Chain A
Amino acid sequence: MLVSYKWLQEYVDLTGITAKELAEKITKSGIEVENVEILNKGVKGVVIGHVLEREQHPNADKLSKCLVDIGEGEPVQIICGAPNVAKGQKVAVAKVGAVLPGNFKIKKAKLRGEESNGMICSLQELGIESKFVAKEYADGIFVFPSDVPVGADALALLNLDDEVLELGLTPNRADCLSMIGVAYEVAAILGREVKLPSVELEETNESVHDYISVKVEATEDNPLYAARIVKNVKIGPSPLWMQTRLMAAGIRPHNNVVDITNYILLEYGQPLHAFDYDRLGSKEILVRRAKAGEKIVTLDDVERTLTENHLVITNGTEPVALAGVMGGANSEVQNDTTTVLIESAYFTSATIRKASKDHGLRSEASTRFEKGIDPARTKEALDRAAALMAEYAGGEIVSGVAEVNTLKQEEIVVTITIDRINSVLGTAITKEEVANILTNLQFAFTEDNGTFTITVPSRRRDISIPEDIIEEVARLYGYDNLPTTLPVAESQPGKLTPYQAKRRKVRRYLEDAGLFQAITYSLTSEEKATQFALETAEPIRLAMPMSEERSVLRQSLIPHLLEVVSYNRARQIENVAVYETGAVYLAKGNDELPEEKERLAGAITGVWHAHLWQGEKKAVDFYVVKGILDGLFHMLGLENRIEYKQAKREHMHPGRTAEVLLDGRVIGFVGQLHPSFQKENDLKETYVFELALTDLLNAEVEEIRYSTIPRFPSMTRDIALVVDKDVIAGDIQKTIIEAGGELLKEVSIFDVYEGDRLPEGKKSIAFSLRYFDPERTLTDEEVTAVHEKVIQAVEQQFGATLRG
C-alpha cells in the first residue's frame, strides 16, 4: 500500500511529524514501512506556462515553436517536440536554470537555428512513471486545467512536493489497505483523532427502483450488494488533485467516473465498479455462480471461459462483470456514458481468490476482496462515490439504494485481564496504560477490576482472541520496553541423542580422514533418482516441478556427489574428496509418507597423497577408500561385524566393487565407477561409497570395558602361502583365525606377490600371526603345535604351499 503523506493529513493531524519520522513510528509499532519516496526527484524551477502562440518550427517537421507566458515579464520562445502542444494550453515549463530529475539542468539553447528559453515538460520528464500517466498524455506533454494560474509552482499542483510511504502489509493487516485504515493506525500510534470524510448526498425525486432491481442468488459468496444510479454525468478528466493522488498511489487516471471509483477504493478500501447503465441491456442485476463454459469478455478485451466456481454479475441473462475481479467490456463506462450504476458489494475472499487465480488476474480490487474488506463501510463508500460523481462529473443522484443484504454481522467481544497481559508478556503494565492504548486504537471497551471487555471494530478483522489484544497492547506499549528474562522453570540438561552424537563423530572422522562435507539437493531428475540406490522404490515425483532437473526425490546421494566432482573438475580442481550425510526417500503407500533413511556417501578422485620432493605420490584406489571405511567401522565399534564381498552393481566396475555387510546383511557398497560410466560423464577414475547410516548408527554396540594389559610376551610367526590366483585373502584369513583358536590374537597381511618367481596362475600372500596368552608365557612347543594346525588347515582348504 502506497500512502501519500499529504493525503493522509486529511484524516489525521500530522503537525510536527515528518514523513520519515512517521515511517519510523509506523514500523516500530507493527507495519513495516519499506520505503519513503520523495516524489520531487530534485526538480527545481518548473512553473505553469500559458502557450500564447504555437507554430511549426521552420527547419524541423516534428518541432513546434511556442511563445509561452511564464508569469515573468515578456513571454518566452520555447521549442517543443511534443506532438500534442497547442495554443491556449496551460503546461509545465522548466525555466532556464531549472533542474529536472537526474540533475538535468535546463539552459538557453538553439534548436535547429531557433532559440529555446526553457522546456515544456511531460509528466515523465518530471519523474512520474509512464505506467501511471493517463493514456492521453502518455506520449506528450501534460495539459493542466485552464484555471491554474500562470507562473504557479507546477510541482505543488502535481503533488510532487509530497512523500509516499510504502507499507509492507502482512496478510492480517488488510485494514491498512485503505487511507482511512492507515489513518486509524497512525492515530493510535500518535494518540491523535481520526477525521472521517463527510458524506452529503443530494438526491433527485426519482427512485432507484425505477431503474434497477437487484437479486443475489449466491448469497454465500455475496452477502451484501448495493447499487446506486447517477444520471446525467459528463465524462471528462477528474480534478487534478484526484489524479495526482491516484498517481502517487500507483493508479493511472482514466476519467472522472473511473477515477472516483478508484479514489474510493483507496480511501475506504472498498472496491467499486461503475457500469454504463444504458449498456447493461436490462433493468436488472442478478448475482450468481457462472455456468460451466459461460463466457465473458473482460475490460482488457480478453474472452474468459468460466466455471461454476466463478461468481458473475449479470443483467439477468448475460454476465456483465466477473465479480470483484474485473468488469465486462460490454458494460464499460465510455466517453458517451450518461447514466452510471455504481456497485458496492461485499464478496467473500475464497470466491475472489479462486477467480483471480484461475484467470491470472490480480487487481487492486481483487487483492482487497481476497484479504477481506470491512462490510460496515460498503454502503458509506457507495454514498461517497455518488456524492463525488455529483460534484466532479456533474451527475444527479437518483434517490435510494438498490440492495440485497443477507450479512450476519456478529460483534466480536474479547475479554482479557490485566494479569494475563502481564503474565504473557513478562511486563508490569498498568490498567491505565492498557486503557489508554485501547482508547487510542478506538476500540470500545469497559474495564472492571482489571478485566477488560473489548468490542472489536469490524475494520480490524484480525482481532478475535485475547492474544490478539495482547499483541495490540505489546506493540503500542513498545517492544523496546519489554524486559529481558530467561525461563524460570527448572531446567533439565540438554544433550544430543546417542544417534545425533555418533553422527557428528562420523562427520568429524571423515573430515579428519581428508574428505570435505558437501550438501546437495534432495530433488533430482527421474534418471538420477534411482541411480546407485542401495534399495529402490517407486520414484516420488512432485505434482508441479519447476524443472525436470528437480522433479523427483533422490534415492541415493551419489549422483549429486558426482555432480560436485564434475563441477570442481570443470574448474581445474582434479583432486576431489567429498562426503555427504542426508536422507533418501523411499515411497511406501500412495497416501503414506515415504520412508526417509539417512545415508552416508562419498566420492573420491585424483591424487590421494602427494609429497613430491620425497618421492611420494599416490592416486586414489580401492584400498584408500576401504581404509577410510575400515577406520569408520572401527570408530563405531563394528570392525569385527563388517565384511566386504565382491559384488556387481550397475554403473560400478565389476572387478573393483564390494558390498559391505553388517552382521551378514548388506548395508552399503564401495568401489570404482564403471569405466564406461566414467567416460560418459567425463570423469577420471573415481571411487564412491554409500552406506546405510541409520543402520550403522543404530547397531547396538557394547559399552567400553577395560581389559587387562598383557603382562606376558607374545610370539610372532610369519608364513608365506602360495595359492591359486583366484583364492581371496579374506577367505584364507578366516580359515587361519578359525584354526588358530584362542591363542591366535592377531593376523595381518604383510606381502602379496604375483610374478616371475612363481609358477603361472599362482600368487603368494604372507601373513604375520601373533600368539599370546594373557595368563602366562607361551612355550615354543605350544605355539608350534597351533601354528602347524593353521598351516594344515590352509593347505587342505586352499591347496596352499609354504613359500620357501
Chain B
Amino acid sequence: MKEQLQQLQQEALEKIAQASDLKTLNDVRVAYLGKKGPITEVLRGMGKLSPEERPMIGALANEVREAIQSALEEKQAKLEQEEIEKKLASEAIDVTLPGRPVRLGNHHPLTRVIEEIEDLFIGMGYTIAEGPEVEKDYYNFEALNLPKGHPARDMQDSFYITEEILLRTHTSPVQARTMEKHKGRGPVKIICPGKVYRRDNDDATHSHQFTQIEGLVVDENIRMSDLKGTLQAFAKKIFGEDREIRFRPSFFPFTEPSVEVDVSCFNCGGHGCNVCKGTGWIEILGAGMVHPNVLEMAGFDSKKYTGFAFGMGPERIAMLKYGIDDIRHFYQNDLRFLQQFNRA
C-alpha cells in the first residue's frame, strides 16, 4: 500500500510537470485529488490494515496529497503568469510613434523680459504703477523739469495730438503722477513698465513704438550709492551673477546727478568682443538722483526727501539677452520668432 501511494505521487507529479495549460492541469487535479480519485481509493482500503499500520499509512497518504496539491498550485501560478505574459505581448505598441500633441503658446519675448524685471523688483519691495499712454504735455515734460522750449525736448521728438496732448515719450509721467498722488509723503517705491512712442522711422534699431521700464524710489535718506546697489542687484539677476556695473556721468533733465549705467559684457566677461564693441561694457540704463525741481513740482520737500530713478528698454535687454538682431521682430509677430521664447 505504501508502494502504491508512492507510485501515485510519482505519476501525479510527472503529469503535473507535463501539463502545458490550465485545463490539463485541472484534469490532473480532478484525476488524482477528486472524490473518486486513486488516493481516496487507497484510503478506503485502509480498513484492511492493522491498527499499527493505519496511522502510518494515513500520514503517508496525507503527505502524498499535500505534495500533489502544492505541485499543482505551483504549476498553476506558473501557467497563469505565462498566460498573462502572452496576452501582454500581444498588446505591445510602438512607443516611438508621436504622442497626441498638446497645443501650447507662450509669452511674447518682451513680456518675458518685463515680467522677469517686475518680479525682481517686486521682491525688493516695489509695486507696479501704470498710467495713460496718451499723456498731457505737463506730465510728460513739464513736471519732469522739461519746460516748453527746453533744448532737451529735441532729444525725443514726439507724436503730438494737440498742443497739450501727446503720446508719452517715456514712462516717466507715471512717476510724476504717482508722486503727486503721494501728496508729499514718502516712501514711493515703484516700477513703471509700458509702451512709449517717438517719432522715429522703423528700422533695424529704431521703432516708433517700444517699451520702457522705469523705477523710482523717493524717501528720506535715499543715497546715490543705494541706486548703485539696486542696479547692481538688477544686473546680476538679469545678466548673471558675475556681472558688474559702472556709472558714467550723463545728463537727463529730470535727474541730477545723472548717469548712464553700463553692465560688464555677459558675452566676453569684459575682455572685449563684438557684443560690447570691444569695450567690455554694455550700456543698459539711464539713471540718477531725482532732480529737486521734479520733487518740488510733485509736492515733495526736496530738503527732506531725496530719490533715485532709472529707466531701461526691454527691447534692448531682450536683444542683448537673446541675441536678436532687429527690433522690428518684436512687432512683426512672426510665429517662427515668437515660438522661440517658449521655455519655462
A468, closest chain B residue (CB): B256
- Kindly state whether residue B257 has any CB partner on chain A within 8 Å: yes
Report A700 CB to chain B, min CB distance, Å: 21
Q: Check: B32 CB closer than 8 A to any chain A CB.
A: no
Report chain B residues within 8 Å CB of A582.
195
Q: Find out whether the CB atom of B228 lies under 8 angstroms from the CB atom of A483.
A: yes
Residue from A484, A517, A594 within 8 A of B111 (CB atoms) = A517
Q: Which stretch in B4-12, B83-91, B219-227 binds the other chain?
A: B219-227
Within 8 A of A (CB), among B186-201: 187, 189, 195, 197, 199, 201
Interface string of B130-142 (1 = CB under 8 A from A): 1011111000000
Is A302 in contact with chain B by the CB < 8 A criterion? no
Sorting the interface of chain A by its residue count into under 10, 10 to 19, 20 to 34 or 35 or more gives 35 or more
Chain B contacts of A317 at CB under 8 A? none
Q: Does A62 contact B (CB under 8 A)?
A: no
User: Which chain B residues lie closer than 8 Å to A677 at the CB level?
Assistant: none
Docked-complex contact B165 and A593, CB < 8 angstroms: yes
Closest CB-CB distance, A472 to chain B, in whole Å? 9
Contact with B along A341-369 (1 / 0, CB 8 A): 00000000110010000000000000000
Q: B161 on the interface (CB 8 Å rule)?
A: yes
In the complex, which of the residues B152, B221, B336 contacts A489, with contact meaning CB atoms closer than 8 Å?
Answer: B221
**Binary contact track B218-257/A, C-beta < 8 Å → 1, others 0:** 0111111110111011000000000000111111000011
Task: Report the minimum CB–CB distance from B185 to chain A (whole Å).
Answer: 13
- Whether the Cβ atoms of A514 and B257 lie closer than 8 Å is no
| B49 sits at the interface (CB 8 A) | no
Pairwise interchain contact A522-B121, C-beta atoms closer than 8 A? no
Nearest CB to that of B252 among chain A residues? A170
Question: From B190, which residue of chain A is reached at the shortest CB distance?
Answer: A494
Within 8 A of B (CB), among A131-173: 170-173
- Which has the most chain B C-beta neighbours within 10 Å: A353, A487, A521, A578? A487
In Å, the complex CA distance between A391 and B189 comes to: 64
Per-residue interface assignment for chain A, residues 34 to 63, with 1 indicating a CB less than 8 Å from any chain B CB and 0 otherwise: 000000000000000000000000000000
Q: Is the interface of A mostly helix, strand, loop or mixed?
A: mixed
Write the chain B residue with the least CB distance to A29: B249
Chain B 308-344 near chain A by CB (<8 Å), digits 1 or 0: 0000000000000000000000111111101100000
Known: A30-B250, A486-B233. A494 touches B125 (CB 8 A): yes
Nearest neighbor of B259 in chain A, beta-carbon distance: A479
Whether A578 contacts B230 by the Cβ 8 Å rule is no
List the B residue with the shortest CB-CB distance to A576.
B335
Given that A479-B247, A522-B209, A591-B165 are known contacts, is A609 also in contact with B103, CB under 8 Å in the complex?
yes
A22 to B125, CA, bound (A): 42
Q: Is the CB of B149 within 8 A of A350?
A: yes
Instruction: Find out whether the CB atom of B224 lies under 8 angstroms from the CB atom of A593.
Output: no
Interface 9-residue window, one of B17-25, B67-75, B94-102: B94-102
Provide the bound-state CA to CA distance between A553 and B133, in Å.
11
The complex places the Cα of A613 from the Cα of B221 at a distance, in Å, of: 68
| Chain A residues, Cβ within 8 Å of B258 | 471
Q: Name the distance in Å between A485's Cβ and chain B's nearest Cβ.
A: 4
> Is B115 an interface residue when CB atoms closer than 8 A count as contact?
yes
Contacts of A491 in B (CB 8 A): 124-125, 189
Top 4 closest pairs, chain A to chain B, by CB: A426-B225, A426-B223, A30-B249, A514-B103
Extra contacts besides A519-B331, A578-B335 (17): CB < 8 Å? A28-B248, A29-B249, A471-B256, A471-B258, A485-B228, A513-B105, A521-B208, A521-B209, A541-B161, A542-B159, A543-B159, A553-B134, A582-B195, A593-B135, A596-B134, A608-B103, A616-B100
Interface residues of B (CB under 8 A from A): 97-98, 100-101, 103-108, 110-111, 115, 118, 121-128, 130, 132-136, 149, 151-152, 154-155, 159-162, 164-165, 167, 187, 189, 195, 197, 199, 201, 208-209, 217, 219-226, 228-230, 232-233, 246-251, 256-259, 289, 291-292, 306, 330-336, 338-339
Which A residues contact B (CB, under 8 angstroms)?
27-32, 170-173, 349-350, 353, 370-371, 423-427, 465, 467-468, 470-471, 474-475, 479-480, 482-489, 491-497, 500, 504, 507, 510-523, 540-546, 550, 553, 564, 567-568, 571, 573, 576-579, 582-583, 585, 590-591, 593-594, 596, 608-611, 613-614, 616
